[in-house]
Amino acid sequence: MLLGDVSSRYTDLVETVFSTAIAGKAWLATGAFLLAIVQVLTASRMWGKLKGVVPVSFATSRRIHRWSGRIALLLTLPVFFHCVTILGFRTPDARIAIHSIAGSFVYGVVAAKLLVIRWKGYPHWVLPVLGGSLAVILATLWLTSSFWYFTNVRFGF
């Protein structure tokens, strides 16, 4: 199978659900972004903040945090495939340049965060800084892609 055929098969697969591959990517990224908000809220609760905003126990917060993170990561995989292996790193204007640069760091920050969680003994500020950075990167990516698509191209599936 030629490399170009992979792209066609991917878009055909996505278009069985969404009108276009770009629309599918926009909605999957929106799902990941919404789950990132859940991640920030539950992480804050686990660190003893926002008790009034997130009225659940520590254990429940931890469970929601872990599963929302796993699902968010899964939602980003098709987006990663489309952005990285089909579209590639591009800088024709500020929006796409910011998107390309921020996108390069997503999985690096995820990997570093998972490492810090597994390996104990890091300063207490490292995990929130990594988690906060990941949330900021995901917000930047969503604003420069899905939000732009919904407001400039089309809001629909």
Partner 1 sequence: MARRLAPLVVLVVVSLAVFGLAEWHPFSPSVPAAATAPTGNAARGAAIFATSCAGCHGADATGGVGPPLRGSGLTAVEVTAVVASGRGVMPAGIVTGQDAADVAAHVASIAK
Considering only CA atoms, which of 136, 70, 91 is closest in space to residue 109?
A: 136
- Give whichever of 66 and 90 is closer to partner 1, judged by the CB atom: 90
Task: State the sign of the Cα–Cα–Cα–Cα dihedral 139, 36, 127, 124.
Answer: positive
Residue 71 beta carbon to partner 1: minimum distance, rounded to whole angstroms: 21
* Residue 122 lies near partner 1 (rule: CB under 8 A): yes
Residue 143 beta carbon to partner 1: minimum distance, rounded to whole angstroms: 14
- Give whichever of 4 and 48 is closer to partner 1, judged by the CB atom: 4
Query: φ, ψ for residue 35 (rounded to 5)?
Result: -70, -30
Q: How far is 17 from 34, CA to CA, in rounded Å?
A: 20
Determine the residue type at 68.
S
Kindly give the residue spans of alpha helices, DSSP state H, lying in the chain: 3-14, 21-46, 58-80, 94-118, 126-143, 146-152
* Residue 56 lies near partner 1 (rule: CB under 8 A): no
* Residue 89 lies near partner 1 (rule: CB under 8 A): yes
DSSP-based helix, strand, coil % in the chain, nearest 5? 75, 0, 25
Please, which of residues 11-50 interact with partner 1 by CB under 8 A?
A: 11-12, 15, 19-22
Q: If you count them, how many residues does the chain have?
A: 157
- Give whichever of 56 and 112 is closer to partner 1, judged by the CB atom: 112
- Give whichever of 15 and 57 is closer to partner 1, judged by the CB atom: 15
Residues that bind partner 1 (CB under 8 A): 3-4, 6-8, 10-12, 15, 19-22, 81, 83-90, 92-93, 95-96, 100, 103-109, 111-113, 115-116, 119, 121-122, 126, 130, 152-154, 156
